[in-house]
Amino acid sequence: MEYASFLERMHTVQDTYGYIPENEIDKIAKEFNIPRAKVYGTIRFYSMFYTEPTGKYIIRVCDSLSCHINQSKEIVQIIKDYLGVEHGQTTADKKFTLEIVECLGYCGEGPVMMVNEHVYTRVSGNMVLDILKNCV
Ligand code: FES
């Protein structure tokens, strides 16, 4: 199996549907002659693949050591309270999905949050609420 082609195919499906539906998992497994479990394993391994529809905005908050020391837990709690969701959940209006993730690569600037592809560093509670309110 050509892994780069496999990942490219996964990205295409993810970009098309916003997640990787069951029937596409079957198609990919057949196309690359691999077990469905390998497709699922890849989905679980990479944070950018989903098996269910996500919100329009995917909120990722780092909770690795450096951000944790800089109160990322408080940021997460503020977001949970504001959105009314837990880690891995999507709001009822399908606007936001919250994910608590490992290091986002900005360790000296924590706490760090991403909204889709946009990175916010040194976020505060007020800043986070402003960011979320501006997601329309
Ligand atoms: S520890 Fe949070 S970005 Fe690295």
pTM: 0.82
pLDDT in tens, the chain (136 residues): 788 999 999 999 998 998 999 999 999 999 999 999 999 999 999 888 999 999 999 999 999 999 999 999 999 999 999 999 999 999 999 999 999 999 999 999 999 999 999 999 999 999 999 999 999 9
Any ligand 1 atom below 6 A from CB of 101: no
The Cα 58–Cα 116 span in angstroms is 5
Mutate to test the pocket of ligand 1, among 47, 62, 69, 72 (most ligand atoms within 8 A of CB): 62
DSSP character at residue 70: T
The Cα 119–Cα 48 span in angstroms is 15
Give pLDDT, residue 47. Answer: 81
- Determine the topology of domain 57-133 in CATH: Glutaredoxin (3.40.30)
Give pLDDT, residue 6. Answer: 96
Residue ranges covered by each domain of the chain: 3-45, 57-133
